[in-house]
Amino acid sequence: MYGIENYFGFIIAGLFLNIVPGVDTVYILTRSMTQGRRAGFYSVFGIITGALIHTTLAALGLSIILAKSIVAFNIIKTIGIAYLVYLGIKMLIEKKSLFDNNAQQIGKPDLLKIYRQGLLTDLLNPKVALFFLSLLPQFINPHYTNGPIPFLILGLTFTTTGTIWCLFLAHSASYVTKTLRNNEKIGKWMQKISGIVFIGLGISLY
């Protein structure tokens, strides 16, 4: 089918890779646990949008530039690290609790902000681009590697399974911590912990 080999095997591999926690998973869990299901869903939408952009770039062959250019890789990597550290520091110095009653009823501007942060978190991770470039060709017939269709099909498949998993994750995390969100003191501690986690993730990517 369009040069794709062992499509079922790709789905299985994609499911396992979706479950493995990473930066995106931490961002989704943080938003879902501290600000509820709606915020968690918007963080998922942002991250999935980033994944779709990576899929498109891989299909068009543009991501190969990133893979072959150490300078480009390091620049994007540095920006990504700085962004994660920035989010972490912002959470640490924020005085208002994430469990404040105003945070429970998130307005449209806040949801768009969460969406943009999720999008940038995924886009500024060069490892995601390299992941698509390294995984997708393994399931494509060499005679079809110059065409974008098989890359797009596999990328969309991986993104679809990832969306289902991430939405489940966001819903579960928000449901489990629903009672905790009524406690402002716990909210302040969770915010500080989330900030430390984001800073740690940024440092770990260095």
List b or e across 8-33, with b for residues whose CB sees 16 or more CB atoms inside 10 angstroms. eebeeebeeebeeeebbbbbbbbbbb
Give the integer Cα–Cα distance in Å for 121 and 117. 6
Tell me, yes or no, whether 18 lies in a domain: no
Domain that holds residue 71: 27-204
Tell me, yes or no, whether 9 lies in a domain: no
Give the integer Cα–Cα distance in Å for 63 and 161. 22
Q: What SS3 state is found at 105?
A: coil
Tell me, yes or no, whether 110 lies in a domain: yes
Tell me, yes or no, whether 136 lies in a domain: yes
Tell me, yes or no, whether 2 lies in a domain: no
Total structural domains within the chain: 1
Tell me, yes or no, whether 80 lies in a domain: yes
Tell me, yes or no, whether 77 lies in a domain: yes
Sequential pLDDT tens for the chain (206 residues): 667 888 888 888 888 878 877 788 888 988 888 788 888 999 999 999 999 998 888 878 766 776 677 777 678 778 778 877 887 888 788 766 555 444 445 566 688 888 998 998 888 877 777 777 777 777 877 666 556 788 888 889 999 999 999 999 999 888 877 766 666 666 667 677 777 877 886 777 66
Tell me, yes or no, whether 38 lies in a domain: yes
Q: Long-range contact list for 176-184, CB < 8 A, 24+ apart?
A: 176/33, 177/32, 177/33, 177/34, 178/36, 180/33, 180/99, 181/34, 181/36, 181/99, 181/104, 182/99, 183/99, 184/97, 184/99, 184/100
Query: Model-level pTM?
Result: 0.73
Write the CB contacts of 61 (distance below 8 Å, at least 6 apart in sequence): none
